[in-house]
Structure 1
Amino acid sequence: MSADADQRAIRCLVAKVGLDGHDRGAHVIARAFRDAGFEVIYSGLHRAPDEIVQAAVQEDVDVLGISILSGAHNTLVPKVIEGLKEYGAFEDTLILVGGIVPDDDKAELKEMGVAEVFGPGTPMADTIEFVRQNAPDRA
């Protein structure tokens, strides 16, 4: 058996939080992650922060990608982070945000614990490589 065969696939939850109903980007990234060999769970639309936390904890994900275009990132992302902390899952989860996030807000999200913020036009290969390089090693 090769060393690669001993490792489990990176588990990712692609989540749509809040009332944002635009999910094309979430579907695109979910498919790109799947094609890259990641295990992917998609939350569906209109999930509350607590629903996202519950899914991340129950599915034991390595990566939580939050897709948000509504402008509510400064309200909803902190709630997700706090929920992950309450369950002791924050340290073991790579948190990404994708969508429309003003430059002024990116630094604040990163200070809260978001590893990276990916905006429109980010090459899929860059996002996949970031995940491969930064996902927690829980093989």
Structure 2
Amino acid sequence: MKAGVGLFLAMSDSDRKIRCLVAKVGLDGHDRGAHVISRAFRDAGFEVIYSGLHKSPDEIVQAAVQEDVDVVGISILSGAHNTLVPKVMAGLEEYGALHDTLVLVGGIIPEEDRERLEDAGVDGIFGPGTPMEETIEFVRNNVKPR
């Protein structure tokens, strides 16, 4: 057995960095919040992949599956959350990745839309002004074991 393989096999889930995809879906061009949360996650010791702007739900799903992430954080301010987020959720379900991926939504989400997103499988919704430590702790406490 190669040394690297033995080291990998000895690593427990608790030793592995949490892998996060921070994603911007649709035509929303406001990405300051996505950059802020990406940096906060990185500073907390998470491995972060940023999707870049204007990604389709399918592109986000493909990136999440290919990168084998633990967390998908969708940043959306465009008001299209009721259309785009369920498409991401359906794509993750189609690839069998929904049950082992923590899905978060951040942005302007009206109170009356939250239940609909949670029913679609979103694990946490974070609005403007949420303390970074609250989001980081939510991830640490709710990331699904692999």
**Shorter-normalised TM range:** over 0.9
Alpha-carbon distance, 1:6 to partner: 6.0
Q: How many residues align?
A: 136
Q: Deviations over 1:13-72 (max 9, x none)?
A: 000000000000000000000000000000000000000000000000000000000000
Partner of 2:4: none
Is 2:13–2:145's contact at 8 Å kept on the other side of the alignment? no
Equivalent of 2:22, from 14, 23, 44?
Answer: 14
Q: In structure 2, what is the Cα distance between the partners aligned to 1:4 and 1:85?
A: 26
Q: Where in structure 2 are the equivalents of 1:68-107 lying within 5 Å?
A: 68-107=76-115
Q: Does 1:128 align with 2:136?
A: yes
TM-score of the pair, normalised by structure 2: 0.90
4+ residue runs over 3 A deviation: 3-6
Structure 1: any 5+ residue segments left out of the alignment?
none
Three-state SS of the structure 1 residue aligned to 2:100 is coil
Partner of 1:56: 64
Question: How far apart, in 2, do the equivalents of 1:6 and 1:18 lie?
Answer: 34
Superposition CA RMSD, Å:
1.4
Deviation string 1:112-134 (CA, Å, 9 cap, x unpaired) is 10011100000000000000000
Letter matched to residue 37 of structure 1: G
User: Is the Cα contact below 8 Å between 2:24 and 2:31 reproduced in 1?
Assistant: yes
Looking at structure 1, the residues matched to 97 and 60 of structure 2 have their Cα atoms a distance apart, in angstroms, of 12
* 1:80-108 superposed Cα distances (whole Å, 9 cap, x missing partner): 00000110000010000000000000111
Instruction: Report the equivalent of 1:114.
Output: 122
Q: Match of 1:80, SS?
A: helix
Q: Which runs of 5+ in 2 are unaligned?
A: 1-10
Q: Which structure has greater helix proportion?
A: 2
Offset of 1:5 from its aligned partner?
9.1
| CA distance in structure 2 between the partners assigned to 1:30 and 1:101 by the alignment | 19
